[in-house]
Amino acid sequence: MATIDKDWDGNAQNASPDGEFVRDTTYIEDRIVSDVPAQSAPVPQEDGTFHWPVEPGRYRLMAARACPWAHRAVITRRLLGLENVMSQGLAGPTHDWRSWVFDLDPDEKDPATGLHRLREAYLNRFPDYPRGITVPAIVEVESAKVVTNHFPSIPVDMQIQWKNYHRDHAPDLYPEHLRSRIDELASWLFKEVNNGVYRCGFAGSQDAYEAAYHRLWSALDWLEEHLSTHRFLAGEHITLADVYLYPTLVRFDPVYVGHFKCSRNRIAQMPNLFGYLQELFQTPGFGDTTDFQEIKEHYYYTHGEINPTRVVPLGPDMSGLVEPHGREHLPGSPFAPGVTPPGPLPAGEEVKHPEAFQK
């Protein structure tokens, strides 16, 4: 019989009889939508979820620099310029089974909600909440109750439902003519790459690990070939597909190669994937939301079953990410004509360890 445990990312995980890591993908699937009047109570749906109104200032994106699933929401919010309508709280990189802690803030409390642990927001709404306490999560500021932690829909709804509040000249990260392709890529990336590294890292048997390893590298080899003739994953400009891949790629060399035993080679040794990663890292919204120190502290400290000493490595040197990427010969550009990159980070949202990529 499968056993259920929780890793310290807060995600319930199932260990199958053959040792394969199986992620629990059950989330709070409420959504924030534009067709519910502002200042309304959440509207119940036939499937048991609720629809909440789009309303500036009502919600706070709870994230962590360390978490790849949260990172995609952080990037999307920044690219679209939603900082003035949806605030952001950031938990620290290390925690125990009781969930993410706002220990980067004064008095170890999120200044907008007063939460010490993200768990409190879940229990405020669901006193007997039985599942993992995950980021990203959107919390209603006034009540300090969780609204949703359904990470696949949060970036999509930021693009579609919050469109009236995007900054001037913001990108369309989910253009209608590419949505089916982006959705296809999102599903494939989740199964083969985003979660593929976790299948390697949390494999409970040699056979499960080797199967996961070969499956992951098959996907990365496909991406390397695809990116030899395509500047981005879908179309000629950055879309949500690229937002979904970036957090895994940027964590690969400092964490997944060693910590998760994804050790065939580094991304830096794959010219197309690395050039693509360089270009994204150098695009506002990507590199300026990446904190390598917090990323390494999270994985190497919280995964005690993999790294019981909790020693955090000093390498590798990631400064190659700021060198020329050489992808200008491919059709396309990061943003379509008339679209501009986001401006400087809002005060207080700068990464705390900007120099960490050189360690």
pLDDT in tens, 311-352: 999 999 999 999 999 999 999 999 999 999 999 999 999 999
Of 238, 90, 40, nearest to 155 by C-alpha is 238
pLDDT at 358: 60
Whether 5 shows a pLDDT value over 50: the answer reads no
Contact (Cβ atoms closer than 8 angstroms) between residue 115 and residue 101 = no
Residue 262 among the catalytic residues:
no
d(CA 342, CA 169): 9
pLDDT tens sequence across 45-96: 999 999 999 999 999 999 999 999 999 999 999 999 999 999 999 999 999 8
pLDDT tens sequence across 148-195: 999 999 999 999 999 999 999 999 999 999 999 999 999 999 999 999
Contact (Cβ atoms closer than 8 angstroms) between residue 150 and residue 135 = no
- 50-53 and 31-33 as β-strands: parallel, antiparallel, unpaired? parallel
Whether 1 shows a pLDDT value over 80: the answer reads no
Catalytic residue among 59, 122, 174, 198: 198
**Assign residue 39 a region: left if phi > 0, alpha if psi is -120 to 50, beta otherwise?**
left
pLDDT tens sequence across 191-211: 999 999 999 999 999 999 999
Q: What percent of the chain has pLDDT over 90?
A: 90
Binding residues: 100
Length of the chain: 359
pLDDT tens sequence across 23-50: 777 899 999 999 999 999 999 999 999 9
- DSSP character for 163? G
- The residue with greater pLDDT, 21 or 54, is 54
Binding residues for glutathione: 100
Catalytic residue among 59, 67, 300, 301: 67
* Helix, strand, or coil (residue 208): helix
Domain ranges for the chain:
31-165, 177-358
Whether 145 shows a pLDDT value over 70: the answer reads yes
pLDDT at 192: 98
pLDDT at 15: 52
> Domain spanning 177-358 has what CATH number?
1.20.1050.10
Choices 2.60.120.10, 3.40.50.720, 3.40.30.10, 3.40.50.2000: CATH for 31-165: 3.40.30.10
29 token code pair: 């699937």
pLDDT at 96: 87
d(CA 76, CA 79): 5
- The residue with greater pLDDT, 108 or 11, is 108
Of 322, 189, 299, nearest to 251 by C-alpha is 299
The one-letter amino acid code at 154 reads I
Residue 276 among the catalytic residues:
no
pTM of the model: 0.94
Confidence of residue 359 (pLDDT cuts 50, 70, 90): low
111 token code pair: 């200044």
d(CA 2, CA 244): 29
